[in-house]
């Protein structure tokens, strides 16, 4: 796909990504927004996202994001980034009614794409990496570079997760050539946590429970707990990774309550379980090593239902079969 050619005739262009946006969702949207504004100055470009997490505070032009989704006109082109249409939230209707729908994503669970034009590359570590390939390199600038780099560090765990490829590192090398303070961004955007974020992480770790001979671990944060620590869902980022770091654990499950008897599920695995398959079964999706879904029922129902599927994943993988 030639990105600019697809947008050349458009007077109104819209961009959005998934609900509860993470670093890749916010960074990719911001990079595309800045690039299109720069390259197509005649077009009206609108960016819709739920309020970004505080960890994105270093990005320029955050104030341009419309989190009210106030819009009654249709779009000539609408981009869905880092998701299929089902998790666009309030932007889904803008996407569906657009004259041209473009989907750019790297989730294996969205292999076919949801647009008229689809650029879905499951081997890419982040949506930002795909965007980089669609941008003309000579037209990048430092603000676009920071947005792309931020997206990449969040989805690759600062180039540590198994989705990190030589290409990702080559792109990152080009981006840091723009001379922004990348180590400060990594520290403040990815690693640094507030006191309360650390407190609730500590609580979640303390209350975690191991099962399947210690190869699975689960922890749950209730609404009441979130209210007690004055935190919102984006403050819980990183808890599931910390659970997965525990020696002997292959699969980590983290739940938080979104409504009465309804939980957001995050799963991470090291080697044995294809968690994208487990999440997809329950109507969610993601990647082989990181996936999520929303499930109804009590905490025990949710864990029981998930563990059946995770056990099946372990059994499928020869070297992960449980000792009996």
- What's 73-119 look like in SS3? CCCCEEEEECCCHHHCHHHHHHHHHCCEEEEEECCHHHCCCCCCEEE
Residues 165-204 that bind Mn ion (CB under 5 A): none
Query: Where do runs of H (alpha helix) occur along 157-298?
Result: 166-176, 182-185, 195-206, 223-228, 239-244, 275-281
Nearer to Mn ion (CB atom), residue 82 or residue 143: 82
Compare residues 10 and 150 and give the one whose CB is closer to ligand AMP.
150
Q: In Å, how far are 3, 73, 102 from 40, measured between CA atoms?
A: 11, 19, 17
Residues 6 or more apart whose CB falls under 8 angstroms from that of 257 comprise: 220, 221, 222, 223, 226, 263
Q: Which is nearer to Mn ion, 25 or 108 (CB)?
A: 25
In the bound state with ligand AMP, the residue whose beta carbon lies nearer, of 4 and 19, is 19
235 binds, among Mn ion, ligand AMP, none (CB under 5 to 8 A by kind): none
Smallest distance, Å, CB 287 to ligand AMP?
A: 6
Single out the segment in contact with Mn ion by CB under 5 A; choices: 77-85, 209-217, 260-268, 291-299: 77-85
Residue closest to 241 by CA, chosen among 263, 280, 208, 213: 208
Angle at 249 between CA 294 and CA 107, to 5 degrees: 40
What, of Mn ion, ligand AMP, none, does residue 290 touch, CB below 5 to 8 Å by kind? ligand AMP
The least distance separating ligand AMP from the CB of residue 172, rounded to whole angstroms, comes to: 19
Binding mask 286-315 for ligand AMP (x = CB under 6 A): xx--xxxxx---------------------
CA–CA gap between residue 283 and residue 281 (Å, rounded): 6
Strands (E), the chain: 12-17, 44-48, 77-81, 100-105, 117-120, 209-211, 216-221, 251-259, 262-269, 285-286, 290-296
Which residue's entry shows tokens 């993601």? 286
Q: Which of 35, 49, 285, 314 binds ligand AMP (CB under 6 A)?
A: 285
Fill in the per-residue mask, 29 to 68: x = in contact with ligand AMP (CB under 6 A), - = not in contact. Answer: ----------------------------------------
Q: What burial letters (b/e) apply to 35-67, b meaning 16+ CB within 10 Å?
A: bbbeebeebebbbbbbebbebbeebeeeeebee
Compare residues 127 and 164 and give the one whose CB is closer to Mn ion: 127
In the list ligand AMP, Mn ion, none, the entry touching 285 (Cβ below 5 to 8 angstroms by class) is ligand AMP
Residue nearest to Mn ion (CB): 24
In this complex, which beta carbon is closest to Mn ion, that of residue 25 or of residue 30?
A: 25
With beta carbons less than 8 A apart as the criterion, state whether 243 and 208 touch: yes
- Under the binding rule (CB under 6 A), the answer on residue 113 touching ligand AMP is no
* Site string (251-280) toward ligand AMP, x via CB under 6 A: ---------------x--------------
Binding site for Mn ion (CB under 5 A): 22, 24-25, 82, 127, 155
Binding site for ligand AMP (CB under 6 A): 18, 87, 107, 109, 266, 284-287, 290-294
């Amino acid at each position: 796909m030639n990105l600019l050619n697809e947008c050349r005739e458009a007077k109104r262009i819209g961009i959005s990504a998934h609900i509860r946006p993470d670093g890749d969702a916010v960074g990719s949207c911001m990079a595309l927004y800045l690039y299109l504004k720069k390259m197509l100055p005649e077009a009206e470009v609108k960016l819709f996202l739920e309020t970004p997490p505080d960890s994105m505070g270093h990005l320029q032009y955050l104030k341009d994001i419309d989190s009210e989704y106030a819009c009654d006109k249709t779009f000539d082109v609408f981009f869905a980034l880092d998701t299929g249409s089902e998790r666009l939230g309030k932007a889904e209707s803008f996407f569906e009614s657009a004259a041209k729908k473009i989907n750019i994503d790297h989730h294996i669970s969205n292999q076919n794409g949801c647009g008229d034009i689809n650029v879905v590359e499951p081997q890419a570590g982040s949506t930002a990496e795909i965007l980089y390939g669609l941008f003309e390199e000579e037209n990048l600038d430092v603000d676009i570079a920071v947005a792309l780099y931020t997206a990449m560090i969040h989805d690759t765990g600062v180039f540590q997760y198994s989705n990190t490829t030589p290409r990702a590192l080559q792109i990152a090398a080009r981006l840091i050539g723009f001379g922004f303070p990348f180590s400060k961004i990594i520290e403040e955007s990815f690693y640094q946590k507030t006191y309360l974020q650390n407190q609730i992480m500590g609580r979640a770790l303390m209350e975690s429970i191991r099962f399947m001979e210690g190869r699975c671990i689960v922890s749950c944060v209730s609404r009441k707990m979130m209210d007690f620590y004055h935190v919102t869902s984006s403050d819980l980022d990183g808890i599931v990774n910390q659970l997965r770091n525990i020696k002997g654990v292959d699969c980590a499950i983290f739940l938080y309550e979104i409504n009465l008897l309804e939980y957001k599920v995050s799963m991470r695995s090291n080697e044995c379980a294809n968690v994208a398959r487990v999440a997809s079964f329950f109507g969610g999706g993601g990647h082989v090593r990181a996936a999520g879904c929303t499930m109804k029922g009590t905490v025990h129902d949710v864990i029981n239902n998930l563990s059946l599927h995770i056990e099946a994943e372990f059994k499928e993988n020869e070297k992960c079969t449980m000792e009996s």
